Amino acid sequence: MNEELDKFEQRLSRQPLRPIPPDWRTEILAAARASRPAPRAWLSALNPQLSTVFWPHPKAWAGLAAVWILIFALHFSMRDPSSRIAEKSAPLSPEVLVELKKQQRMFAELVGTYEPMAAARRKIFLPRPRSERVEIMVT
């Protein structure tokens, strides 16, 4: 059988090449352009590459995904409750409050926005009930 192929190839190589008729050429090229696949989306183009990577050991990749899900679950379940502890801590002592106010005044003086205490302490408006309102008669 191998000899038959060799004889066929020899006979084929002896034949002169004929040019393709121009009508056929345009018809073939038009059919090739019409059968060209539509451009694919990015994700669908990525799918065959990912499947060639993941296909040899799908169970190993599934196990790795399960491990990552477990890591994320443990991470979110063991959050640091220090922010909640800071909210529940005891109020500051009066000495600490006095020191903080001193630091604020000193910072304000250094920055140049210090106002005297009398100007800073403005009288706070507390609305009274309507029954206690003093009415002034205009005559």
122 Rama sector, left if φ>0, alpha if ψ -120 to 50, beta otherwise = beta
- Say what the pTM is: 0.28
CB of 61 closer than 8 Å to CB of 54: yes
List the single range of 67-76, 107-116, 123-132 with lowest mean pLDDT: 123-132
Q: How many residues does the chain have?
A: 139
* pLDDT, mean of residues 58-62: 86
Q: What is the average pLDDT value for the chain, to the nearest integer?
A: 78
Distance CA 59, CA 56 (A): 9
Q: For residue 116, name the pLDDT band (cuts at 50, 70, 90).
A: low
What is the DSSP-derived secondary structure letter of residue 56? T
Residue 68 pLDDT exceeds 90: yes
Distance CA 96, CA 102 (A): 10
* pLDDT, mean of residues 89-94: 77
In the chain, what are the domain boundaries? 50-79
List the single range of 3-7, 16-20, 122-126 with lowest mean pLDDT: 122-126
* pLDDT, mean of residues 8-23: 86
Sign, CA torsion 57/59/62/68: negative
